[in-house]
Amino acid sequence: MKQAADNTTTSTVSEKAPFTAGIIGLTFLDTTWRIVTPVLLFAVLGILADRALGTGPWLTIAVGVPIGFVFAALLIKKQIEAVNQAEQKSAKSKKGKK
């Protein structure tokens, strides 16, 4: 009986470890592009608008970067909602198996 309990614990831990590290790494990369891309895109658009209109850095600072941060926040919010839905779905399927 003790041997069966040890085998169950060992196999469960060893099966989850590699996938968890991979998921964390991929989530980190997915989150990174969601933050960087909109901020850089709107900063570049602000710089181009400043050059065209001769307004200095003001459109970049006052419009481009803040809009980029808003879009980044919306993308992160969407990602968090997707993760929460996946976790709820996983929890429901685990309850159904027990």
For the stretch 25-83, pLDDT in tens is: 777 788 888 899 999 999 999 999 999 999 989 999 999 999 999 999 999 999 889 88
Q: Report helix, strand or coil for 92.
A: helix
Per-residue pLDDT of 68-88, as tens digits, reads 999 999 999 998 898 889 888
Q: Which two tokens stand for residue 79?
A: 């990602």
Six-digit token string for 65: 């970067």
Alpha-carbon span 39 to 32, nearest angstrom: 11
Token pair in block for residue 64: 């481009």
Regarding predicted confidence, which is higher, 47 or 21? 47
Give the whole-angstrom CA distance, residue 47 versus residue 78: 28
